[in-house]
């Protein structure tokens, strides 16, 4: 179940809280230059949407049309392998932008699902509208480029860690990069992301715990 409200409607104070969060995150996390027009621009295009736990924003086979900013909650990107198993590809936390780049820019069906792991709130806007606006607004064009660059780099970094590291290296990296997720997510979700079994991850956790206290 999802619900939305327009952030251009002044009665929705929660929208403006989310917009301020978004504007701050663009500057601190995505290195977007401070601009007094940024929040006004976001207000024009973005809508606050509530997403229930286990609700999907994108399903495999759909063409992604929206860009999302996570104001509250945790999401996962996952796919279904040939054996029918759900395999986690990425997690997203508050303060992050979710932009399925290949599907958005190439107008191709997404191979992934985007699912809330908690009750959540996101800001969303149609990517074609943002793209058109960027042609006439250098401020937003720079912001869009910074976001897409960050998405590409984060994805490449994650793939390198998953391919080059062993199970213990991958788990240590996850703990270092995502300490809050390590506390909030169930073991099986993290295990799927790290490409290990829950039993193996449980043993690894025990080993690391013992070595840190020994």
Q: What's the predicted TM-score (pTM) here?
A: 0.90
Tell whether 77 is covered by a domain.
yes
Same domain as 209, residue 107: no
pLDDT for residue 4 is more than 80: no
Q: How far is CA 59 from the centre of its chain?
A: 15
Residue 7, pLDDT > 60, answer yes
The residue to which tokens 């699902």 are assigned? 113
Pair 72, 61: CB distance under 8 Å? no
pLDDT band for position 14 (50/70/90)?
A: confident
* 67 pLDDT more than 90: yes
Do residues 58 and 111 both lie within one domain? yes
Distance separating alpha carbons of residues 148 and 136, to the nearest angstrom: 18
Look at residue 163 in the predicted model and tell me its pLDDT. Answer: 81
Q: 198 and 132, same structural domain?
A: no
Same structural domain for residues 43 and 96? Answer: yes
Contact 114, 57 (CB under 8 A): yes
Model confidence band, residue 25 (pLDDT cutoffs 50, 70, 90): very high
CA distances from 183 to 19, 186, 190 (A): 27, 8, 10
Q: Which of 50-59, 126-135, 160-169, 177-186 has the highest mean pLDDT?
A: 50-59
Residues 133 and 207 in one domain: no
CA distance 166 to 123: 36
Residue 101 lies in domain = 2-151
Q: Are 1 and 55 in contact (CB under 8 A)?
A: yes
pLDDT of residue 10: 47
CATH code of the domain containing 42: 2.60.120.10
Number of domains present in the structure of the chain:
2
Query: pLDDT over 70 for what percent of the chain?
Result: 93
């Amino acid at each position: 179940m999802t619900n939305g409200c327009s952030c251009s409607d002044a009665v929705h104070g929660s929208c403006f809280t989310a917009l301020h969060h978004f504007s701050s995150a663009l500057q601190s996390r995505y290195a977007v230059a401070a601009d007094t027009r940024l929040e006004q621009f976001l207000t024009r295009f973005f809508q606050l949407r509530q997403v229930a736990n286990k609700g999907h924003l994108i399903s495999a086979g759909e063409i992604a049309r929206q860009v999302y900013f996570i104001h509250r909650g945790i999401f996962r990107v996952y796919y279904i392998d040939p054996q029918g198993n759900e395999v986690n590809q990425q997690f997203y936390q508050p303060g992050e932008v979710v932009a399925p780049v290949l599907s958005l820019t190439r107008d191709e069906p997404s191979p992934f699902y985007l699912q809330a792991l908690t009750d959540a709130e996101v800001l969303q806007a149609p990517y074609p509208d943002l793209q058109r606006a960027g042609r006439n607004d250098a401020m937003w064009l720079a912001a869009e480029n910074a976001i897409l660059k960050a998405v590409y780099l984060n994805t490449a970094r994650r793939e390198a860690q998953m391919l080059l590291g062993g199970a213990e290296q991958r788990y240590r990296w996850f703990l270092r990069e995502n300490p809050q997720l390590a506390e909030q997510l169930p073991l099986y979700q993290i295990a799927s992301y790290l490409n290990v079994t829950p039993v193996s991850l449980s043993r690894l956790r025990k080993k690391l715990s013992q070595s840190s206290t020994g």
